[in-house]
Chain A
């Protein structure tokens, strides 16, 4: 077997990898994987993975024994647990170490399954001291003990395998695969990375809540009909009435608690602003001092706050620990790095060079009687760049007229910039606030390899002649910007004390691929002056940006999810949208809805005018207007055509099933 674990494969559990990623690994004789499939007729291919092995063990544990319902129910539960659509054992197996194998399968669900299968094994193996077989058995034992669920976040415990562990392993495997081959997992990678972040931030010890599809084990036609019902409920806006009701109840509480929270929060944020202003003032004084202090000292800021400074090497630690307008401030910040500036100037020019490599991390809290605002450990901003700017000018004045011109140019090379904010806002319970709110959120922004340049020219002058003078003002500028890569992670959760919550998570990765955004601007004013004043004037201007090309364009992929656990809704509901721009006019968009125990993946390819929806049973609905026909879609499972979606008249869409039954889409 080829090793497809990023950390390498330790088949005998001696703590040393026996094979690196991509190398062949000899398995112990005890190592085995299994898969179960029901209602098999004729010759079928069954693909065996770590995922099918877990499903097999889950089915075998079913007290009703092995039958179509227990087998397909187990397969479906494992698939739902990992957000995979389709029949687990029918998904094509991908060799992650072989770029040809990767290129041969573009199906996102299959790629996701391959990554998760490897991630499971890597997460299980990483607990150490176990052969791969033992690790897999330990994983299965824990999985079965939790009735087919995983702990979402085990806080890094060594004796368990959590969903967070699996997704982190997947992220590492993605990096290993993309490094070893030219494969770009695109939105699948972004989606999994976002899910890893969400799992990592989940409360420790909570179990996943994956359920088998209600139609697991049913005939394909019944699954198709169930899917149409799900899509109908989804499409019909008021079909989410249960959610609306829940959202309204939660929203009412947020609104009511928010009104009570607002003055306290305003006060806390105001105090924080005062603290930041005072720290910035203290830092500026410290940096600009002719001789920087080397011992700890206090600085009294102009707003009255006292900042304690403790110099350390190139940096300085700042802290404020005071009470301001009823707010208790306890903020610690650490500034480190260097700022070097070199400038020169003469009669007709100046130059300036700035080299910055700094970081500022902060932690602490501001609290009052109504709210506590906490800046968690890790919140930091870092900048590493070099900038140069210069200007030169000329000036002349004579009887024939006068002229002034200047040229300014500069460039900034950004090695890296990052911002990480980890904030929580906790409302205090009181007589007026029985159900207080808690908001936690993080913002992680990173930019690598940025390059910005700018050039400005201006020329003003007047030329005198017999009838008066001609004056011209000419301004032009060119700005350009590019970057190597950028990423944005944003996550937030708003919850109340009754465990109702709405969480949002967004991850965007982008690359410029050589595209440089340019902005060119020029304008000319031309005025004719005579003795009686201005006799005529002209104005012209050009302003524009350059376009991307087939070769140079900004590519990106993103993944957004919203998870809600609301009153009246038995299970969590999540909506996620992922997309990728892979070419100038190429891209894809997909969405996943997990709602009331069901799952629906919707994807669209730019330009193809085709929308595909796949549900948890592997039933695929393809919507595509067929020319010369009233058929606008087909429903299949595998190669079996189960239904046609047809337009009937102007307003009616019918789904016609292969058994002769039909139903309106809504």
Chain B
């Protein structure tokens, strides 16, 4: 028949008590993840530090701040590569035309969004840049690559009503990130991250 025998009432009660405790602990943990997104209190951040191993291990450590606090500029990585024969290759990450289907495009887009979210003073930024440069050198068969960060802000309603598209030049803000050649990023010490 496949139906288990009814469990002893005492055993069932014990199971329910343990189950309830686990449920409460889990709900507290998953609530602390979004609550710890800045601005947050020291209390919440301390609580989050306690449960973060569990949240990281289960991949439930998310803030769920989609388009929050508000939709902003997109981060795009522009590159100009030089091949061994001296010819150049231009491109950008992400590229709607080259990266299909859309989900793959979005994967690359998240890479550049991550880069754009790192403050310039953060030492990890250089490592990310070198790593991204290495990828471009490897996958595009380049000798060197010049990187530029582009922040592409959404056009205002007025700009669109005046006939400017979403790709109007004034909506792009460029920053040169330097020229890179192949270099294996060194392992960073723990102190550098702080």
Q: Do A and B come together as binding partners?
A: no
Contact surface of A with B, Cβ cutoff 8 Å? none
Q: List B residues at the A interface (Cβ < 8 Å).
A: none
